[in-house]
Amino acid sequence: MKRTIYIFSDGEIKRKGNTLYFETEEGKKYIPVENTAELFVFGEVIINKRLLEFLTESKIIMHFFNYYGYYIGSFYPREHLNSGYMILKQAEHYLDPEKRILLARKFVNGAIENIKRVLTYYENRGKTLAPFLEKISFLSQSLQNCKDTEQLMAIEGNVREQYYYSFDLILNNEHFIFEGRSRRPPKNRLNALISFGNSLLYTVCLSEIYQTHLDPRIGFLHSTNFRRFTLNLDVAEVFKPIITDRIIFTLVNKGIIKQTHFESKLDGIVLNKKGKEIFVKEMDERLKTTFHHKRLERNISYRTLIRLELYKIEKHLMDEEEYEPFISSW
């Protein structure tokens, strides 16, 4: 599988013939186009139209984040696998209330089941999480009665609130306390980790959608409106507990991420440059990590797992096989 390039320094990305290089005050660093799938840009980078034309030819996506680590947009090259048929099927399932609620419920159910797997894992290791599991199980019983996506989102929001409060017991670290969900800006270090990690996962899912016939603008749980992309938000719900949250637990419990990796900005708390580099490195390693997939009976990476989830959605839309979200056995 092609690799991801992360750029944290300031400089200029240039094209030279059929190659790319990143030029800074320290010198040039060449980017291997033939095995690069995407660029994550966190630094202040200069680009030009000639570069974008080459990225389109090479089918390389470029994701941009601002100084504070907020995702601000992507250069999404002309879809090379675009399918009019698939777009029509997505629109059909979005416009039909019954078909849409079925898919939307699948995403929420997948997220909740993976949340429960995470909590059960730590409950079995001595953390007193049974009360959270009971509340989440009770809340999830209402999923089948939801008549629209707004009701589904409300339940999902209540489940995640309970789940995030359980982080205090899982982490047991006075420097990383939940204190309620806060965004743009996050009000504390734990919220800064959750927001940054989720943002990274959204863009990873977007990159994987680019490698399928699906259109990222048509989601089902998240409303398709004036936002550029929504399908990646749907798919990410399933994987947040087993990718983003597990990374947070690893970084905090192992003391890899520390107080010194945060700074106060915009009346809130955000990761500093070193903190973002640490999180991105762990995310990249986690996506490359392989595990044994019971159904496939072979080892696959977590990034491949996301791609396979998208293929299952395609089959569902074409009425070949009903979509069932991936549930971790962790």
Helical (H) or strand (E) element with 109: helix 97-123
CA–CA distance, 149 with 105 (Å, rounded to integer): 8
Starting at the earlier edge strand, list the strands of the sheet with 61-65.
Answer: 3-7, 36-41, 61-65, 71-75
Element (H, E) at 61: strand 61-65
CB 306 within 8 A of CB 208: yes
Question: pLDDT tens digits for 43-76?
Answer: 999 999 999 999 998 999 999 998 888 899 999 8
In the chain, the amino acid numbered 202 is Y
Among 41-45, 81-85, 109-113, 146-150, the minimum mean pLDDT is found in: 81-85
Higher pLDDT, 80 or 206: 206
Angle ∠(86,87,93) on CA atoms, nearest 5: 90
Higher pLDDT, 226 or 170: 170
Q: Which two tokens stand for residue 228?
A: 């550029």
pLDDT of residue 227: 65
Q: What is the pLDDT of residue 180?
A: 82
Tell me how far apart the alpha carbons of residues 201 and 287 are, in angstroms, rounded to a whole number: 10
pLDDT for position 79: 65
Instruction: Identify the pLDDT of residue 293.
Output: 84
Q: What is the DSSP string of 119-155?
A: HHHHHTTT---HHHHHHHHHHHTTGGG--SHHHHHHH
pLDDT at 114: 97
Q: What is the mean pLDDT of the chain?
A: 92
Give the chain's radius of gyration (CA, Å).
20
The whole-number average pLDDT for the span 237-244 is 97
DSSP string for 9-44: S-EEEEEETTEEEEEETTEEEEE-GGGEEEEEE-S-
- Structure token pair of residue 83: 């399918």
**Closest by alpha carbon to 58, among 78, 82, 73?**
78
Whether residue 20 is predicted with pLDDT greater than 70 in this model: the reply is yes
pLDDT reported for residue 19: 87
Determine which of 79-93, 233-247, 296-310 has the lowest per-residue pLDDT on average.
79-93
pLDDT digits (tens, 9 = 90+) for 243-292: 999 999 999 999 999 999 999 987 889 999 999 999 999 999 999 999 88
CA dist 75 → 55, 56, 60, 115, 267 (Å): 9, 9, 9, 32, 30
- DSSP element (H, E) containing 300: strand 298-301
pLDDT at 112 over 90: yes
What letters, b where the CB count within 10 A reaches 16 and e where it falls short, cover 183-216? eebbebbbbbbbbbbbbbbbbbbbbbbbbbbbbb
Least confident segment among 83-87, 201-205, 279-283: 83-87
pLDDT of 182: 78
If pLDDT is split at 50, 70 and 90, which confidence band does 170 have? very high
Q: How far apart are CA 20 and CA 170, in angstroms?
A: 44
Across the range 283-311, mean pLDDT stands at: 92
**Portion of the chain with pLDDT greater than 70, in percent:** 98
Q: Report the distance separating Cα 115 and Cα 94, nearest Å.
A: 26
Task: Give the DSSP per-residue string, 197-246.
Answer: HHHHHHHHHHHHHHTSS--TT--SSS--SSSS--HHHHHHHHHIIIIIHH
- The pLDDT-based confidence of 136 (bands split at 50, 70, 90) is very high
Q: Assess contact for 317 and 89: CB atoms under 8 A.
A: yes
Q: In the predicted model, what is the mean pLDDT of residues 314-326? A: 96
Q: Is the CB of residue 220 less than 8 Å from the CB of residue 323?
A: no
Q: What angle is formed at CA 102 by the lines to CA 99 and CA 106, rounded to 5 degrees?
A: 145
Which band of pLDDT confidence, cut at 50, 70 and 90, is reported for residue 32? confident
Counting residues of the chain whose pLDDT is more than 90, the rounded percentage is 76
Contact 252, 279 (CB under 8 A): no
Residue 309 · residue 235 · CB < 8 Å: yes
pLDDT in tens, 37-46: 999 999 999 9
pLDDT of 81 higher than 80:
no
